[in-house]
Chains A and B, each alone.
Chain A
Amino acid sequence: KAGVTQTPRYLIKTRGQQVTLSCSPISGHRSVSWYQQTPGQGLQFLFEYFSETQRNKGNFPGRFSGRQFSNSRSEMNVSTLELGDSALYLCASSLMAASSYNSPLHFGNGTRLTVT
């Protein structure tokens, strides 16, 4: 079974631009979450989607947004990029069902975003 796939792997943008990152979850997984990893803040939760609905949101500004499609694939968007948005953005999926409550998140290899 294929793992979580994130595209692109690397991205370089300039301040003020916007960016869209893509994530394909493990087949059959309906929950997709996004995380930001930076050296200073570690792994921080951005948001979680299930059945095209946002279920949870972390403490990030409104410039960070996401969505989920009917096939469970997800995208996140960052508008008006700032230098501090440079980070590794990780997507994770999980099998969200009553019988699988204690189901771990499985992560992709991330998109390394550099803002110059």
Chain B
Amino acid sequence: DQQVKQNSPSLSVQEGRISILNCDYTNSMFDYFLWYKKYPAEGPTFLISISSIKDKNEDGRFTVFLNKSAKHLSLHIVPSQPGDSAVYFCAARVTDSWGKLQFGAGTQVVVTP
């Protein structure tokens, strides 16, 4: 069953504006969440992560928000740049499952000039 869901398969945003990507999960045992970016023919690139004990984590243009009660996390990219056009994956893992991530289906982001 799909424990991590990205319900928006695509997102189009203008350069300079904010991109907001959403992710929902069902397993309350998840305690670490990650966002990856993927270009075609390449492996996913780690962007940012958040532990379940926090509700926000920032790294440059990227901010991840976690709402545990709603089992929802989001990734904000500000400002969006053309190089941000890629597929973004949300992922999660339970305690002690170091290498076992559950991935969402991905959101294709297109940043237009």
Q: Assess whether B98 is in contact with A107, with CB atoms less than 8 Å apart.
A: no
- Interface assignment of A55: CB less than 8 Å from any CB of chain B: yes
A81 touches B (CB below 8 Å): no
| Distance of B3 from chain A, by nearest CB (Å) | 12
The answer, among A32, A33, A42, A106, for a CB contact under 8 Å with B100, is: A33
Interface bits B78-103 vs A (CB < 8 Å: 1, else 0): 00000000000101000001111111
Q: At the interface with chain A, which of B13-21, B22-30, B38-46, B62-70?
A: B38-46
Q: How many residues of B contact A (CB 8 A)?
A: 23
Q: Which of B46, B51, B105 contacts A105 (CB 8 A)?
A: B46
Given contacts A102-B32, A104-B34, are A48 and B45 in contact (CB under 8 A)? no
A109:B99 contact, CB within 8 angstroms:
no
Closest partner residue, chain B, to A95 (CB atom):
B98
Q: A4-B43, A42-B105, A50-B98 are known; give 9 further A-B pairs, CB within 8 A.
A: A31-B98, A45-B102, A48-B100, A56-B100, A90-B44, A105-B34, A107-B36, A107-B45, A109-B43
The residues of A with any CB-CB pair to B shorter than 8 Å are 4, 6, 31-33, 35, 42-45, 48, 50, 55-56, 58, 90, 92, 94, 96, 102-110, 112
